[in-house]
Amino acid sequence: MVARGNLLVGQSGGATAVINASLVGVIGAASSAPAIGSIVGMRHGIEGLLREDLIDLGRQSAATLARLRHTPSAVLGTGRHKLGADDLDRALALFRRHNIRSFIYIGGNDSADTAHRLHERASVSGYDLRVIAVPKTIDNDLPHTDHCPGYGSIARYLALATRDAGRDTEASPQLYPVKVIEVMGRNAGWVAAACALAREEGRDAPQLIFLPERPPTSFAALLDEIGAAVREQGFCVAIVPETLRDAAGRPLGGGERGFVDAFGHAYHPGVAPLLAERIKGELGLRARYDKPGTMARMSILAASTTDLAEAEEAGREAVRRATADESDLMITLDRVADAPYRITYGAVALERIANTERLLPDEYIGADGRSITDAFRRYALPLLGDPLPPYARLVEKAWPDAGNAAIER
């Protein structure tokens, strides 16, 4: 049993649909842990500690916590502060002053780096501190964990939204044959790949997924692929990551050069508006784009029940590890089986997480480089929670048919 002390928890990086569920897990487990005194929240991640902008999480009602489980975004506020050497000293002094003995940080790989450095700083000073990170990123790009809380929910959102975009586009291809959807995902294709998870048959969207792992050789090559898809199928829904680069590593979203308006202002529109415009100008095809942006990564409407439950349990597991005197670890979700889907919770050294990223493996990418494999479906579909609601297609019975006079029946 470790020394009685207080627990400090924060949220960091981009908000998600389930990062508050992890916080609820931390609060719930800490409330029933005899070794833990106060449960203290930092505002805007580590910035809140440095400013002593702290909040008493033990004073929140059960009703607030129940509601918080289904409230997206980061209720403590979030941040992206990179710790300097002075910050580390100050953080340690504050840990001592406030008798913080457990530090739980819910975030991605930058947060893992911050947590690891706090652990190291406490360790060299002989200050007894347990540091545990709870994984959180829609990008799903953390190594050594099967997947990351937050991913299943954006995957569900985008799978459904892409199916909708496909139905919309095929309803009026004579008006707008091309739809571009711009998605997040940093340098990895996990988020883009999820757009295909509601696809059931040949004509279903997306027709093309431009994965960062399989960049088009050039903007012109990308346009050619879209033109070919329209010629083949009559319409095309194309998924483009906001960070898409060509094979030489040049960003396709306007890049450093961008545009210049009539007043001489530089302008960097991002890849989707630029692509939609060039499809019109160079292919002569009317194109629209959707950019669900932060809505996609935070919508509670599409939150995966599996993701919500796992995010909360990962928070609980972090507290269990801290009270068992473990430290310098990130919680991992370890897959036991795909069907029926089952995971266990493990842990990995923070050092192995910080500042690394996991790209989409080759086995999940179709041979054409623009689609996903069944292996990816088996991996990803369980993360989306409840089965996706099925859509109807009409039975294609032409009227009047051959055996049916074209008059009253």
Asked if 400 is part of the footprint of a copy of itself (rule: CB under 8 A), the reply reads yes
Asked if 77 is part of the footprint of a copy of itself (rule: CB under 8 A), the reply reads yes
2-41 residues near a copy of itself, rule: CB under 8 A: 4-6, 11, 15, 20, 37-38, 40-41
One-letter amino acid identity for 229? A
Q: Is residue 315 within a helix (H) or strand (E), and if so which, with residue range? A: helix 305-323
279-338 residues near a copy of itself, rule: CB under 8 A: 281, 288-295, 298-302
Least Å distance, CB 257 to a copy of itself, is 6
Q: Is residue 53 annotated as a catalytic residue, yes or no?
A: no
Q: What are phi and psi of 330, to 5 degrees?
A: -110, 140
Least Å distance, CB 203 to a copy of itself, is 13
Cα 361 from Cα 213, distance rounded (Å)? 9
Burial call 307-325: b when 16+ CB within 10 Å, e when fewer: bbbbbbbbbbbbbbbbbee
Asked if 47 is part of the footprint of a copy of itself (rule: CB under 8 A), the reply reads yes
Least Å distance, CB 152 to a copy of itself, is 15
Least Å distance, CB 202 to a copy of itself, is 17
**β-bridge partners, 236:** 178
Q: Which is nearer to a copy of itself, 56 or 363 (CB)?
A: 56
Q: What does R_g of the chain's alpha carbons equal in angstroms?
A: 24
| Binding segment (CB under 8 A) for a copy of itself, from list 85-93, 113-121, 267-275, 342-350 | 267-275
The correct pick among 124, 339, 367, 394 for binding a copy of itself (CB under 8 A) is 394
Say which residues have a Cβ less than 8 Å from residue 257's Cβ, sequence separation at least 6.
none
Length of the chain equals 409
The correct pick among 82, 203, 231, 257 for binding a copy of itself (CB under 8 A) is 257
Site map 147..166 versus a copy of itself, x via CB under 8 A: -------------xx--xx-
Least Å distance, CB 246 to a copy of itself, is 15
Q: Sign of the CA dihedral 343, 347, 349, 353? A: positive
**Catalytically annotated residue among 86, 87, 113, 139:** 139
Asked if 265 is part of the footprint of a copy of itself (rule: CB under 8 A), the reply reads yes
Asked if 398 is part of the footprint of a copy of itself (rule: CB under 8 A), the reply reads yes
Asked if 203 is part of the footprint of a copy of itself (rule: CB under 8 A), the reply reads no
The correct pick among 1, 32, 34, 59 for binding a copy of itself (CB under 8 A) is 59
Least Å distance, CB 288 to a copy of itself, is 6
Q: Whose CA is closest to 105, among 42, 59, 61, 177?
A: 42
Least Å distance, CB 298 to a copy of itself, is 5
Say which residues have a Cβ less than 8 Å from residue 304's Cβ, sequence separation at least 6.
152, 153, 155, 156, 383, 384, 385, 386
Asked if 185 is part of the footprint of a copy of itself (rule: CB under 8 A), the reply reads no
Say which residues have a Cβ less than 8 Å from residue 62's Cβ, sequence separation at least 6.
none
The correct pick among 82, 250, 342, 393 for binding a copy of itself (CB under 8 A) is 393
Asked if 74 is part of the footprint of a copy of itself (rule: CB under 8 A), the reply reads yes
Cα 196 from Cα 204, distance rounded (Å)? 9
Distances (CA, A) of 266 to 244, 273, 279, 357: 20, 16, 22, 32
Asked if 98 is part of the footprint of a copy of itself (rule: CB under 8 A), the reply reads yes
Cα 170 from Cα 391, distance rounded (Å)? 14
Burial of residue 233 (number of CB atoms within 10 Å: 0-12, 13-18, 19+) = middle
Asked if 80 is part of the footprint of a copy of itself (rule: CB under 8 A), the reply reads yes
Which letter does DSSP use for residue 28 in this model?
A: H
351-370 residues near a copy of itself, rule: CB under 8 A: none
Asked if 267 is part of the footprint of a copy of itself (rule: CB under 8 A), the reply reads yes
Cis peptide before 400 (omega within 30 of 0): yes
Least Å distance, CB 395 to a copy of itself, is 6
One-letter amino acid identity for 371? S
Asked if 197 is part of the footprint of a copy of itself (rule: CB under 8 A), the reply reads no
Cα 121 from Cα 100, distance rounded (Å)? 14
The correct pick among 1, 62, 85, 397 for binding a copy of itself (CB under 8 A) is 397
The correct pick among 175, 248, 339, 402 for binding a copy of itself (CB under 8 A) is 175
Cα 376 from Cα 365, distance rounded (Å)? 8
Residues marked as catalytic: 139
